[in-house]
Amino acid sequence: MKKVNLGVLISGGGSNLQSIIDHIESGRLDARIKVVISNAPGAGGLARAERHGLKHLVVNHRDFPSREDFDQRLVDILNENEVELVILAGFMRLFTGVLTGAFPGRIMNIHPALLPAFPGAHVWQTTVDYGVRFSGCTVHFVDQGTDTGPIIIQAVVPVLGDDDADTLAARILKQEHRIYPRAIQLYAEGRLKIEGRRVTVQPLDKSLDPDFLINPPLDN
């Protein structure tokens, strides 16, 4: 299987980066991380990249006069490193058409909610405060909007009565670590087809249990 070249953009701890690294190293993901870029100096994910011998660098957005200039620098580095698929893994910058235009249909993001619910920032607290019974995480292709692109895969978790933002975030993060490598593998296998807003996985999988999830559970 041909390996897909990844460029991973991070801003923080990089646990999703770690999961992608682990899946690659254990042979479960046909990908190669060509470069890890952080906009935040000192981001924990940089140390993870270092430990695994991956090329990593800081491109500090503060050093650029505009968002477009910052994005252009990212595009240049990604192209120099022959990146085919851009992975946003806890990358906390809004991007411009410079980035999305350079990699149309070739940027993925993970978001800690069931999009299109709860886009943007401060997601976990907003989710708990709203009182929804389920939340989860979404991997989607990136388009011009914030958290609006075609959805590839989602995982659902219950929101429990005594949850706070931290306990909910931890429950969701576990599932993030499972679905992001899966989405990338489906891409690597050439199985994702984007038609308008809909992404289909080829061949279609009929194994999903069609029963509903209910929370709180029914008596019987």
- The residues that are catalytic are 111
190 C-beta neighbours (distance < 10 Å), count: 11
Minimum CB–partner distance for residue 19 and ligand GAR (Å): 8
**Selection from 138, 203, 126, 202 nearest residue 172 by Cα:** 138
Peptide bond into 203 cis (omega under 30): yes
Only one of the segments 10-18, 95-103, 152-160, 195-203 lies at the binding site for ligand GAR (rule: CB under 6 A); that segment is 10-18
Q: How far apart are CA 156 and CA 134, in angstroms?
A: 7
Site for ligand GAR in 49-88 (CB under 6 A): none
Would you give the binding string for ligand GAR spanning residues 162-191, x where CB under 6 A is met? -----------x--x---------------
Only one of the segments 9-17, 26-34, 61-69, 128-136 lies at the binding site for ligand GAR (rule: CB under 6 A); that segment is 9-17
Residue 174, helix vs strand vs coil? helix
Would you give the binding string for ligand GAR spanning residues 89-108, x where CB under 6 A is met? xx------------------
**Selection from 209, 208, 212 nearest residue 133 by Cα:** 212
Q: How far apart are CA 120 and CA 107, in angstroms?
A: 17
Among 46, 107, 110, 155, binds ligand GAR (CB under 6 A): 110
Residue numbers of the site for ligand GAR (CB under 6 A)? 10, 12-16, 45, 89-90, 110-112, 123, 173, 176
